Amino acid sequence: MIGLVSGTLMHAQGPLAFDVASVRPTDPGGLPPSVSRAVSDRFPACGGYSLQIDPARFMATNVTLYKLITWAYRIRYSCYIVNDGHLLSGEPKWALTDRFDIQATIPVGTPAYTPQQLQDGAAPDLQAMLLSLLTERFKVAVHRDTKEMSVYELTLATRGPKLAAPDGDKPKRETMRLDPDENKENVVHLLGNKASTADLAHLIEPVTNTPVLDRTGLTDEYRFDVKFAVLDPSGGQIGNIPWATGPSIFTVLQGQLGLKLTPTRGPVDVWVIDRAEKPSGN
């Protein structure tokens, strides 16, 4: 073990912090196969980790500092878009390669969060505790800026939104998956409940492979269930693969949800790592 961090759930008196936390380098030989095989070839710093959260404990295994920073600073874009768009920069090389195991005790009275909420930037108290840990143990300092880049804007179509009211008896949900259609052709399937248009914008970013800015002006939560053709991943503007028979994402969003997806350029938040140090032993 590299060491311990202690703190209390302070409000006006100071920043939120884990009661006790340990940080240690990951032992590759001790990883379960499901974790060790999960590293993405596209950008290894994003994958290969295990995250568990219950009301009393936070446990992250085989995780990079790069990934921890995206959680702590509420960088909601997918890790791959953050990398591809240089939305987080300035990191030392080891922040992308060195992996750590973190186990921490969450103070009593902290709201209960799920791993998905942390990754969606919707776990403010837990993110504040993680930020305190990164500041104290890794000496992390980050500042935020903006830059102009290629994006997609989600706006209202001419005839206005066609979004359904959420199902109050079912939990919040935002899911993207590949499903076969009636022609046994894989299509992209978006499912959402109690989801905002901002949630929808982030949900489709793996499709656009660039940030999607919510410009609808809508603030309510909705329900949606739509399918569209798999897209051509090659360069340029997104479009259906040549042999796809289903409608495009543009057609589906406009026809079924009353929303318009338009390529443009716009300001996007970016984060710059000013300082980061490897945690040292006590």
- Split at pLDDT 50, 70, 90, the class of 153 is very high
Which pair of structure tokens corresponds to residue 271? 């984060």
Averaged pLDDT for residues 80-90: 88
- Rounded to two decimals, the pTM is 0.79
Residue 267 φ then ψ, to 5°:
-75, 135
The pLDDT of residue 264 is 95
Going from the C-alpha of 18 to that of each of 138, 151, 185, 190, the distances in angstroms are: 15, 37, 48, 36
Together in a domain, 133 and 22: yes
Residue corresponding to tokens 């269930």: 225
Q: What is d(CA 249, CA 163) in angstroms, rounded to the nearest whole number? A: 16
The pLDDT of residue 145 is 95
Together in a domain, 9 and 130: yes
Q: What is d(CA 248, CA 250) in angstroms, rounded to the nearest whole number? A: 5
- Three-state SS for 150-217 is EEEEEEECCCCCCCECCCCCCCCEEEEEEEECCCCCEEEEEEEEEECHHHHHHHCHHHHCCCEEECCC
Domain count, the chain: 2
Last residue of a domain, one of 139, 168, 185: 139
- Split at pLDDT 50, 70, 90, the class of 9 is very low
Together in a domain, 14 and 135: yes
Which stretches of the chain are DSSP H helices? 33-36, 65-72, 79-84, 94-97, 115-119, 124-137, 197-203, 205-208, 249-252
- Split at pLDDT 50, 70, 90, the class of 14 is low
Together in a domain, 102 and 59: yes
Who contacts 160 (Cβ-Cβ below 8 Å, separation ≥6)? 258
The pLDDT of residue 112 is 94
Q: Which of 180, 144, 168, 166 is nearest to 267 (CA)?
A: 144
CB atoms within 10 A of CB 76: 20
Q: Is the pLDDT of residue 275 over 50?
A: yes
| Side chain identity at residue 2, one-letter code | I
For residue 272, tell me if it sits in a domain.
no
3-state class (DSSP) for residue 128: helix
Together in a domain, 29 and 72: yes
Averaged pLDDT for residues 58-87: 91
Together in a domain, 74 and 14: yes
Percent of all residues in the chain with a pLDDT value above 90, rounded to a whole number = 63
Question: Does 18 or 188 have the greater pLDDT score?
Answer: 18
3-state class (DSSP) for residue 265: strand
The pLDDT of residue 7 is 36
3-state class (DSSP) for residue 145: strand
The pLDDT of residue 76 is 83
Q: In what order do the strands lie in the sheet with 259-275?
A: 88-89, 259-275, 141-156, 212-214
Domain of 215, in residue numbers: 149-267
Going from the C-alpha of 124 to that of each of 16, 83, 104, 127, 176, the distances in angstroms are: 10, 23, 16, 5, 24
Together in a domain, 65 and 107: yes
Q: What is d(CA 112, CA 109) in angstroms, rounded to the nearest whole number? A: 9
Which pair of structure tokens corresponds to residue 98? 């060195």
Last residue of a domain, one of 77, 107, 139: 139
CB atoms within 10 A of CB 9: 19
